[in-house]
Amino acid sequence: MGVRRKRKDRILANQQTSRIENGHLKRSERSRRDARLKDLVQKGKLPFTPPVLSWLSAELDKPGRLITQADVDKYLKS
């Protein structure tokens, strides 16, 4: 094998290691973000800020413009 192949193999191995390590960090960050945004939703009423509405849209699987306060209340009870 040539030098380029060895370098490419090393790069690919490092990328795989980074992906695994970063995945664990992202999982814990996602759980913290979910808790923080759910708390904001519990405290507030529509209209929410764009980041909160985007997260809520993903949670409810519904476009943000179609989310009603009844949908939010139903989500918080479940």
Percent of the chain with pLDDT over 90: 94
pTM of the model: 0.72
| Positive/negative CA dihedral, 43, 34, 52, 68 | negative
Exposure string for 8-36, b = 16+ CB within 10 A, e = fewer: eeeeeeeeeeeeeeeeeeeeeeeeeeeee
* pLDDT tens track for 24-60: 999 999 999 999 999 999 998 889 999 999 999 999 9
Number of domains observed in the structure of the chain: 1
Look over the chain and give the mean of its residue pLDDT values, rounded to a whole number. 94
Q: Domain containing 32: what range?
A: 3-77
Mean pLDDT of 4-10: 96
| Positive/negative CA dihedral, 64, 70, 76, 78 | negative
